[in-house]
Amino acid sequence: MKKRLRTKERDDLRPEYDFSKMQGVRGKYVERYRQGTNLVLLERDVARAFPNGRAVNETLRAVMKAAAKLPRRSRSERLRNASGR
C-alpha cells in the first residue's frame, strides 16, 4: 500500500482531542533520570534463556558471587593470558 504524499497539512485529529487545553509537567522524570539508568539490550539468544528481568538479575548475582570466590590474579598475569603467551 502506497502512502500518499501530502502537499498541504491537514488536521486529522478529532475535535475532542484539543491539545491546547492539556497541561503537562515539565521535567517530571528528571530526578529519576539523574539517579541513573542502566538499560542493557540482550542479544536474542541470551534473552531466550531468561523468562524475565528477575531471572537475569538472579543469574548475574550468582556469577558475581562465584567470581568473588576466585583468587585474584595480578595485572601482569591477566595481560600475559590476554596476549596468548
Residue holding cell 601482569? 76
The answer, yes or no, to whether residue 2 has pLDDT greater than 80, is no
**pTM, to two decimals:** 0.46
Percent of the chain with pLDDT over 70: 86
pLDDT, tens digit (0-9, with 9 covering 90-100), for 55-83: 999 999 999 999 999 888 887 887 787 77
Split at pLDDT 50, 70, 90, the class of 44 is: very high
The residue that leads in pLDDT, 34 or 6, is 34
